[in-house]
Amino acid sequence: MKAEKTDQQIDMGLRSFIKNLAYMTGGAAFLASTTPWLTSCTPEKLEEIKKEKARVALIGAGSRGQYHIHNLLNIEHADLVAICDTYQVNLDAACALYPTAKPVRDYHEILEDKSIDGVIIATPLHLHAQITLDSLSAGKHVFCEKAMALRMEDCKAVYDAYKNSDRALYYCMQRMYDEKYIKAIGMIKEGLIGDIVGMRCHWFRNADWRRPVPSPELERQINWRLYKEYSGGLMTELASHQLEVCDWAIGMVPSQITGMGSIVYWKDGREVYDSVNVIYKYSDGRIINYESLISNKFNGMEEQILGKDGTMDLSKGIYYLENDNTIPGMRQLLEQVKTGVFASIPTAGPSWRPELKSEYVPHAVMDGKVSVNGGQSMISSDHDGSDEILSAFCQSCITGEKAQDVVEEAYYSTLLCLLGNQAMDECRTIDFPEEYKIPYLKF
């Protein structure tokens, strides 16, 4: 049974947006320079495959894999023919969502099936690289969850295999397919907020990140995110998305990384940090300040690009201008009273002062209702680009067309996460290793 949201809504929403964006901002040349991966997602190209279906298989049927199944149910040019997992509970739950899919326990059985066009990998991180390499070698198109791999050498091996393959490879960097991010980055590159002078990203939650374990021997299999053998912790699970958009906005990759991490609150036997602070410095001096912890959710999630003339808050789809007189003084005063932004000053002088941030006026990046991810879900957020990028992958399974730059963006964002972990573990500043630089973006 199809879910309520139709394929027409999924595909034509983004694709119509792409079409209109191209018209408004300079056509194909604008898309090619700002979001080249979208040039294969036009309404015309979708029309060309409307009577065809990609035969795909899912490897990894946990919560994220089941989320992808819900999206596949709404993609008319996709047919999920097999589902693989070694944990029977997840396999049964996933197959219940898509009863026509064949249950499989060993992913090699999927790779041997010549009728399957592509695979969707939603396993724990430590398995991403090997399954991706095996799948490309078997001639399958591949869609893999972030991050690319748990080790830097594996990232490079996957990148090299992809460059030597004629198969499409996607990583679920869904912000690259999220309309508010696409429009916001375009506005940044057109000069709306002036020269970029810095970036601030954070992601806060208040939860132990654990899942229930029915039997002790399943602890590491189910709670793999908590152990370094399987996971890069907060960096690969969360920061990978945010660091990618920073590089996307600035068109560069940081050359130095330093940071500190701790297990501050969840002292329950986990090995990965529950609090991280990492600084990424570009060769021209600009800096990303990155922070994440999972024992306080007050600040939620933000990705701020700071310009000389304004600030773009990508996660919320709004921007502020440094010199903005569009709000009358009385309206500003009433808004300050309503939101309680006045703060007491315990010194001589005025009894009250407005917080500086209240002087800024939020402007919407896009007209109409915009979906905002508060950052609290461990699985997904509605309308965050995940369904659109999966649809694009299924299209590539039919056409064979590679999405430009998706792999490269995933490669560098993953390496920055792994280097952030290394910098925290070693308590030192690390230069980006020369041997892992690829011909994409500048340092």
Collapsing DSSP to helix, strand or coil, 170 comes out as strand
CATH superfamily of 192-381+409-436: Dihydrodipicolinate Reductase; domain 2 (3.30.360.10)
Q: What is the C-alpha to C-alpha distance for residues 217 and 145, in angstroms, rounded to an integer?
A: 25
Collapsing DSSP to helix, strand or coil, 421 comes out as helix
SS (H, E, C) 171-217: ECCHHHHCHHHHHHHHHHHCCCCCCEEEEEEEEECECCCCCCCCCHH
Chain-centroid distance of CA 133 in Å reads 22
Q: Which tokens sit at 357?
A: 């941030």
pLDDT of res. 33? 78
Ordered per-residue pLDDT tens for the chain, 443 residues: 334 444 444 555 667 766 666 555 555 666 677 889 998 887 788 888 888 999 999 999 999 999 999 999 999 999 999 999 999 999 999 999 999 999 999 999 999 999 999 999 999 999 999 999 999 999 999 999 999 999 999 999 999 999 999 999 999 999 999 999 999 999 999 999 999 999 999 999 999 999 999 999 999 999 999 999 999 999 999 999 999 999 999 999 999 999 999 999 999 999 999 999 999 999 999 999 999 999 999 999 999 999 999 999 999 999 999 998 775 554 555 565 555 544 433 334 444 444 566 678 999 998 877 777 776 765 656 678 899 999 999 999 999 999 999 999 999 999 999 999 999 999 999 999 999 999 999 99
The CATH-assigned architecture of domain 7-176+383-403 is 3-Layer(aba) Sandwich (3.40)
Residues 6+ apart with CB under 8 A from 402: 168, 169, 396
Asked if 62 and 90 count as a contact pair (C-beta separation under 8 A), the reply is: yes
DSSP letters along 49-96, please?
Answer: TTT--EEEEEE--SHHHHHHHHHHTT-TTEEEEEEE-SSHHHHHHHHH
Q: What is the C-alpha to C-alpha distance for residues 73 and 206, in angstroms, rounded to an integer?
A: 32
Q: Report whether the peptide linkage leading into residue 147 is cis, meaning its omega lies within 30 degrees of zero.
A: yes
Nearest to 184 by CA among 246, 134, 255: 246
Which run of H or of E encompasses 233?
A: helix 233-234
SS (H, E, C) 352-391: EEECHHHHCCCEECCCCCCCCCCCCCCCCCCCCCHHHHHH
Q: Which tokens sit at 397?
A: 């399974």
CA atoms within 13 A on the CB side of 332: 15
pLDDT of res. 212? 93
| Residue spans per domain, the chain | 7-176+383-403, 192-381+409-436
In the numeric block, the tokens 């198969």 are attached to 167
